[in-house]
Amino acid sequence: MTSSPYTVRRPGRSRFVDVRGLRLHVLQWGDEHLVAPQRPPLVMVHGWMDVGASFQFVVDALPTDRLVFALDWRGFGLSDSPGTDCYWFPDYLGDLEGVLDALLPPQQPVDLLGHSMGGNVVMIYAGVRPERVRRLINLEGFGMPESKPHQAPKRYAQWLDELKQPAELRPYDSVQAVAQRLRKTNPLLSEPRAAWLAQHWSRRRDDGQWEILGDPAHKRTNPVLYQKAEVLECWKRIAAPVMWVEGDRTDVSKWWGNRYPREDFDARLAVVPQLERHVLSPAGHMLHHDQPEELALHIERFLAS
Protein backbone atom coordinates (compact mmCIF):
# COMPACT_ATOMS: atom_id res chain seq x y z
CA MET A 1 0.00 0.00 0.00
CA THR A 2 1.27 3.43 -0.88
CA SER A 3 2.51 5.65 1.97
CA SER A 4 1.14 8.79 0.26
CA PRO A 5 -2.61 9.05 0.79
CA TYR A 6 -4.92 11.14 -1.32
CA THR A 7 -4.48 14.93 -1.01
CA VAL A 8 -7.75 16.77 -0.47
CA ARG A 9 -8.33 19.84 -2.65
CA ARG A 10 -11.48 21.14 -0.91
CA PRO A 11 -11.47 20.28 2.80
CA GLY A 12 -14.90 19.65 4.28
CA ARG A 13 -16.00 20.49 7.81
CA SER A 14 -18.11 18.32 10.07
CA ARG A 15 -21.48 19.40 11.37
CA PHE A 16 -23.96 17.57 13.57
CA VAL A 17 -27.70 18.09 13.53
CA ASP A 18 -30.36 16.64 15.82
CA VAL A 19 -32.99 14.88 13.73
CA ARG A 20 -35.76 12.63 15.02
CA GLY A 21 -33.95 11.82 18.24
CA LEU A 22 -30.59 11.09 16.59
CA ARG A 23 -27.41 13.13 16.17
CA LEU A 24 -26.62 12.94 12.46
CA HIS A 25 -23.29 13.85 10.90
CA VAL A 26 -23.06 16.05 7.82
CA LEU A 27 -19.96 17.13 5.90
CA GLN A 28 -20.08 20.64 4.43
CA TRP A 29 -18.00 22.13 1.65
CA GLY A 30 -18.31 25.83 0.87
CA ASP A 31 -20.69 28.26 2.56
CA GLU A 32 -23.92 30.16 2.08
CA HIS A 33 -22.44 32.96 -0.02
CA LEU A 34 -22.03 30.46 -2.88
CA VAL A 35 -25.82 29.88 -3.06
CA ALA A 36 -27.77 31.52 -5.90
CA PRO A 37 -31.22 30.86 -7.44
CA GLN A 38 -29.60 28.80 -10.22
CA ARG A 39 -26.98 27.33 -7.89
CA PRO A 40 -28.80 25.98 -4.82
CA PRO A 41 -27.08 23.75 -2.27
CA LEU A 42 -26.07 20.33 -3.56
CA VAL A 43 -26.98 17.57 -1.10
CA MET A 44 -25.34 14.15 -1.51
CA VAL A 45 -26.41 10.90 0.16
CA HIS A 46 -24.40 7.69 0.12
CA GLY A 47 -25.26 4.03 -0.32
CA TRP A 48 -25.34 0.97 1.91
CA MET A 49 -22.17 0.42 3.99
CA ASP A 50 -20.67 3.72 2.83
CA VAL A 51 -20.18 7.19 4.34
CA GLY A 52 -20.67 10.80 3.27
CA ALA A 53 -16.89 11.33 3.02
CA SER A 54 -17.03 8.94 0.05
CA PHE A 55 -18.00 11.95 -2.10
CA GLN A 56 -14.78 13.87 -1.36
CA PHE A 57 -13.17 12.87 -4.66
CA VAL A 58 -16.14 14.18 -6.66
CA VAL A 59 -16.35 17.41 -4.66
CA ASP A 60 -12.65 18.00 -5.28
CA ALA A 61 -13.18 17.52 -9.02
CA LEU A 62 -16.14 19.91 -9.41
CA PRO A 63 -15.05 22.79 -11.68
CA THR A 64 -17.12 25.37 -9.78
CA ASP A 65 -17.17 26.09 -6.06
CA ARG A 66 -20.59 25.58 -4.51
CA LEU A 67 -22.23 24.77 -1.19
CA VAL A 68 -22.28 20.98 -0.82
CA PHE A 69 -23.55 18.78 2.01
CA ALA A 70 -22.99 15.03 2.40
CA LEU A 71 -25.00 13.16 5.03
CA ASP A 72 -24.01 10.07 6.98
CA TRP A 73 -27.21 8.03 7.16
CA ARG A 74 -28.34 6.81 10.57
CA GLY A 75 -26.14 3.93 11.67
CA PHE A 76 -23.32 4.86 9.28
CA GLY A 77 -20.20 7.00 9.57
CA LEU A 78 -20.29 9.41 12.52
CA SER A 79 -24.10 9.50 12.77
CA ASP A 80 -25.88 7.88 15.70
CA SER A 81 -27.27 4.38 15.48
CA PRO A 82 -30.84 4.12 16.77
CA GLY A 83 -30.16 0.82 18.56
CA THR A 84 -32.81 -0.94 16.52
CA ASP A 85 -32.92 -4.58 15.42
CA CYS A 86 -33.03 -3.59 11.77
CA TYR A 87 -33.51 -0.57 9.53
CA TRP A 88 -36.69 0.60 7.79
CA PHE A 89 -36.49 2.41 4.48
CA PRO A 90 -38.99 5.20 5.31
CA ASP A 91 -36.67 6.31 8.11
CA TYR A 92 -34.16 7.45 5.49
CA LEU A 93 -36.82 9.69 3.93
CA GLY A 94 -37.65 11.14 7.34
CA ASP A 95 -33.98 11.72 8.12
CA LEU A 96 -33.34 13.40 4.76
CA GLU A 97 -36.18 15.84 5.23
CA GLY A 98 -35.12 16.48 8.82
CA VAL A 99 -31.57 17.29 7.72
CA LEU A 100 -32.80 19.63 4.99
CA ASP A 101 -35.04 21.40 7.51
CA ALA A 102 -32.16 21.73 9.98
CA LEU A 103 -29.54 22.99 7.52
CA LEU A 104 -31.46 25.22 5.13
CA PRO A 105 -34.07 27.98 5.15
CA PRO A 106 -37.70 26.83 4.85
CA GLN A 107 -38.67 25.82 1.31
CA GLN A 108 -35.09 26.23 0.01
CA PRO A 109 -34.89 24.09 -3.16
CA VAL A 110 -31.86 21.82 -3.46
CA ASP A 111 -30.00 19.83 -6.05
CA LEU A 112 -30.09 16.26 -4.76
CA LEU A 113 -27.69 13.40 -5.53
CA GLY A 114 -27.84 9.85 -4.25
CA HIS A 115 -25.73 6.74 -4.81
CA SER A 116 -27.08 3.18 -4.72
CA MET A 117 -29.37 2.96 -1.65
CA GLY A 118 -29.16 6.75 -1.47
CA GLY A 119 -30.22 6.93 -5.12
CA ASN A 120 -33.34 4.97 -4.26
CA VAL A 121 -34.08 7.33 -1.37
CA VAL A 122 -33.72 10.53 -3.40
CA MET A 123 -35.91 9.20 -6.23
CA ILE A 124 -38.76 8.53 -3.83
CA TYR A 125 -38.19 11.79 -1.97
CA ALA A 126 -38.24 13.84 -5.17
CA GLY A 127 -41.61 12.32 -6.03
CA VAL A 128 -43.04 12.95 -2.59
CA ARG A 129 -41.62 16.49 -2.28
CA PRO A 130 -41.30 17.58 -5.93
CA GLU A 131 -41.25 21.28 -5.02
CA ARG A 132 -38.11 20.83 -2.94
CA VAL A 133 -35.82 19.36 -5.62
CA ARG A 134 -34.50 21.48 -8.52
CA ARG A 135 -32.25 18.83 -10.13
CA LEU A 136 -31.93 15.14 -9.26
CA ILE A 137 -28.94 12.84 -9.85
CA ASN A 138 -29.21 9.08 -9.36
CA LEU A 139 -25.95 7.11 -9.31
CA GLU A 140 -26.90 3.45 -9.75
CA GLY A 141 -29.93 3.50 -7.46
CA PHE A 142 -31.57 0.58 -9.29
CA GLY A 143 -34.19 -0.25 -6.71
CA MET A 144 -34.88 -3.87 -5.84
CA PRO A 145 -36.36 -6.90 -7.61
CA GLU A 146 -40.14 -6.87 -7.71
CA SER A 147 -41.62 -8.78 -4.78
CA LYS A 148 -44.78 -10.91 -4.65
CA PRO A 149 -47.14 -11.41 -1.69
CA HIS A 150 -46.39 -15.14 -1.54
CA GLN A 151 -42.81 -14.26 -0.52
CA ALA A 152 -43.94 -12.64 2.74
CA PRO A 153 -44.11 -15.73 5.03
CA LYS A 154 -40.59 -16.84 4.14
CA ARG A 155 -39.27 -13.28 4.51
CA TYR A 156 -40.81 -12.85 7.96
CA ALA A 157 -39.45 -16.24 9.05
CA GLN A 158 -35.96 -15.32 7.84
CA TRP A 159 -36.14 -12.04 9.75
CA LEU A 160 -37.26 -13.75 12.96
CA ASP A 161 -34.43 -16.28 12.65
CA GLU A 162 -31.86 -13.52 12.11
CA LEU A 163 -33.05 -11.64 15.20
CA LYS A 164 -31.88 -14.58 17.32
CA GLN A 165 -28.30 -14.23 16.10
CA PRO A 166 -25.95 -11.30 16.84
CA ALA A 167 -25.27 -9.10 13.84
CA GLU A 168 -21.53 -8.65 13.38
CA LEU A 169 -18.99 -7.06 11.06
CA ARG A 170 -15.45 -8.39 10.99
CA PRO A 171 -12.70 -6.20 12.47
CA TYR A 172 -9.38 -5.41 10.79
CA ASP A 173 -5.86 -5.38 12.20
CA SER A 174 -4.99 -1.95 10.80
CA VAL A 175 -6.31 0.93 8.75
CA GLN A 176 -4.09 -0.36 5.94
CA ALA A 177 -6.01 -3.64 6.09
CA VAL A 178 -9.24 -1.66 5.72
CA ALA A 179 -7.81 0.06 2.64
CA GLN A 180 -6.82 -3.31 1.21
CA ARG A 181 -10.37 -4.55 1.81
CA LEU A 182 -11.75 -1.56 -0.10
CA ARG A 183 -9.48 -2.29 -3.06
CA LYS A 184 -10.33 -5.99 -2.99
CA THR A 185 -14.00 -5.10 -3.35
CA ASN A 186 -13.26 -2.47 -5.98
CA PRO A 187 -9.98 -2.97 -7.89
CA LEU A 188 -10.57 0.31 -9.77
CA LEU A 189 -10.13 2.26 -6.53
CA SER A 190 -6.62 3.71 -6.54
CA GLU A 191 -4.25 3.10 -3.62
CA PRO A 192 -4.10 6.78 -2.58
CA ARG A 193 -7.89 7.09 -2.57
CA ALA A 194 -8.29 3.82 -0.69
CA ALA A 195 -5.77 4.95 1.94
CA TRP A 196 -7.65 8.22 2.43
CA LEU A 197 -11.11 6.67 2.42
CA ALA A 198 -10.17 3.94 4.92
CA GLN A 199 -9.56 6.63 7.56
CA HIS A 200 -13.15 7.85 7.15
CA TRP A 201 -14.76 4.46 6.61
CA SER A 202 -13.47 2.95 9.88
CA ARG A 203 -12.19 3.78 13.36
CA ARG A 204 -9.77 2.23 15.83
CA ARG A 205 -11.29 0.43 18.80
CA ASP A 206 -9.89 0.33 22.33
CA ASP A 207 -8.45 -3.14 21.63
CA GLY A 208 -6.42 -1.79 18.69
CA GLN A 209 -8.61 -3.38 16.02
CA TRP A 210 -10.28 -1.27 13.34
CA GLU A 211 -14.05 -1.45 12.86
CA ILE A 212 -16.18 -0.35 9.92
CA LEU A 213 -18.37 2.67 10.67
CA GLY A 214 -21.61 0.85 10.00
CA ASP A 215 -24.14 -0.68 12.38
CA PRO A 216 -24.08 -4.49 11.84
CA ALA A 217 -27.88 -4.46 12.10
CA HIS A 218 -27.92 -3.10 8.54
CA LYS A 219 -27.10 -6.65 7.42
CA ARG A 220 -30.38 -8.07 8.68
CA THR A 221 -33.15 -8.87 6.26
CA ASN A 222 -35.87 -6.27 5.89
CA PRO A 223 -39.13 -8.12 6.61
CA VAL A 224 -41.16 -5.60 4.57
CA LEU A 225 -41.41 -6.56 0.91
CA TYR A 226 -40.25 -4.08 -1.74
CA GLN A 227 -43.34 -2.58 -3.36
CA LYS A 228 -42.39 -1.79 -6.94
CA ALA A 229 -45.79 -0.33 -7.83
CA GLU A 230 -45.68 2.09 -4.89
CA VAL A 231 -42.15 3.20 -5.75
CA LEU A 232 -43.05 3.86 -9.38
CA GLU A 233 -46.01 6.01 -8.34
CA CYS A 234 -43.46 8.21 -6.55
CA TRP A 235 -41.09 8.24 -9.54
CA LYS A 236 -43.93 9.41 -11.81
CA ARG A 237 -44.37 12.53 -9.69
CA ILE A 238 -40.77 13.73 -9.95
CA ALA A 239 -40.88 17.26 -11.35
CA ALA A 240 -37.11 17.85 -11.51
CA PRO A 241 -34.94 16.87 -14.45
CA VAL A 242 -33.18 13.61 -13.58
CA MET A 243 -29.71 12.44 -14.56
CA TRP A 244 -29.06 8.69 -14.31
CA VAL A 245 -25.39 7.62 -14.26
CA GLU A 246 -23.99 4.08 -14.18
CA GLY A 247 -20.68 2.30 -14.64
CA ASP A 248 -19.96 0.15 -17.66
CA ARG A 249 -18.68 -2.68 -15.45
CA THR A 250 -21.68 -2.91 -13.14
CA ASP A 251 -23.27 -6.36 -13.30
CA VAL A 252 -26.56 -6.41 -11.38
CA SER A 253 -26.90 -10.16 -11.94
CA LYS A 254 -24.21 -10.60 -9.27
CA TRP A 255 -26.69 -9.17 -6.77
CA TRP A 256 -30.02 -10.56 -7.91
CA GLY A 257 -29.37 -13.24 -10.52
CA ASN A 258 -32.29 -13.37 -12.96
CA ARG A 259 -34.80 -11.92 -10.47
CA TYR A 260 -34.30 -8.39 -11.78
CA PRO A 261 -33.72 -8.32 -15.57
CA ARG A 262 -32.33 -5.19 -17.15
CA GLU A 263 -35.46 -4.64 -19.23
CA ASP A 264 -37.46 -4.35 -16.00
CA PHE A 265 -35.22 -1.54 -14.80
CA ASP A 266 -35.34 0.24 -18.16
CA ALA A 267 -39.13 0.11 -18.00
CA ARG A 268 -39.05 1.64 -14.54
CA LEU A 269 -36.84 4.52 -15.64
CA ALA A 270 -39.21 5.17 -18.52
CA VAL A 271 -41.85 6.51 -16.09
CA VAL A 272 -39.56 9.41 -15.06
CA PRO A 273 -40.86 12.52 -16.86
CA GLN A 274 -37.50 14.20 -17.62
CA LEU A 275 -34.51 11.88 -17.86
CA GLU A 276 -31.02 11.75 -19.33
CA ARG A 277 -28.66 8.79 -19.04
CA HIS A 278 -24.88 8.42 -18.98
CA VAL A 279 -22.41 5.55 -18.69
CA LEU A 280 -18.92 6.06 -17.23
CA SER A 281 -15.97 3.91 -18.33
CA PRO A 282 -14.14 2.18 -16.83
CA ALA A 283 -16.33 2.21 -13.75
CA GLY A 284 -18.21 -0.19 -11.54
CA HIS A 285 -20.88 0.36 -8.92
CA MET A 286 -18.66 2.76 -6.93
CA LEU A 287 -18.40 5.06 -9.92
CA HIS A 288 -17.85 8.14 -7.70
CA HIS A 289 -14.58 6.46 -6.65
CA ASP A 290 -13.67 5.09 -10.07
CA GLN A 291 -14.29 8.15 -12.27
CA PRO A 292 -14.79 11.19 -10.00
CA GLU A 293 -13.41 13.66 -12.55
CA GLU A 294 -15.68 12.50 -15.37
CA LEU A 295 -18.64 12.29 -13.02
CA ALA A 296 -17.96 15.81 -11.74
CA LEU A 297 -18.04 17.16 -15.30
CA HIS A 298 -21.42 15.53 -15.91
CA ILE A 299 -22.72 16.94 -12.63
CA GLU A 300 -21.44 20.43 -13.44
CA ARG A 301 -23.05 20.48 -16.88
CA PHE A 302 -26.34 18.99 -15.70
CA LEU A 303 -26.75 21.37 -12.76
CA ALA A 304 -25.94 24.38 -14.94
CA SER A 305 -28.34 23.40 -17.74
Over residues 3-27, the pLDDT tens digits come to 567 999 999 999 999 999 999 999 9
**Phi, psi of 55, rounded to the nearest 5 degrees:** -90, 5
**Residues 74-133 pLDDT 10s:** 999 999 999 999 899 999 999 999 999 999 998 899 999 999 999 999 999 999 999 999
Establish if 188 belongs to a structural domain: no
Domain membership of residue 255 as a residue range:
13-147+227-304
Residue pair 69/21 in contact (Cβ under 8 Å)? The answer is: no
pLDDT at 4: 63
Mean pLDDT of 254-278: 96
Based on the residue annotation, tell me whether 14 is a catalytic residue of this protein: no
- Residues contacting residue 232 through CB under 8 Å, at least 6 positions apart: 268, 271
Q: Considering the domain boundaries, does residue 187 fall inside one?
A: no
Domain tally for the chain? 1
Q: Is the peptide bond before 261 cis (omega within 30 degrees of 0)?
A: no
User: Residue 279: is its pLDDT beyond 60?
Assistant: yes
The pLDDT of 231-243, averaged and rounded, is 98
Q: Is the pLDDT reported for residue 2 higher than 70? A: no
Taking only the tens place, the pLDDT of each residue in 30-85 is 999 999 999 999 999 999 999 999 999 999 999 999 999 999 999 999 999 999 99
CATH, residue 277: 3.40.50.1820
Tell whether 209 is covered by a domain: no
**One of 116, 147, 202, 281 is an active-site residue; which one?**
116
Q: Which is nearest to 126 in space by CA: 230, 277, 239?
A: 239
Stated pTM of the model? 0.96
- Is the predicted pLDDT of residue 284 greater than 50, yes or no? yes
Residue 133 belongs to a domain: yes
pLDDT above 90 covers what percent of the chain? 96
Q: Has residue 299 been placed in a domain?
A: yes
Note the pLDDT of residue 160: 97
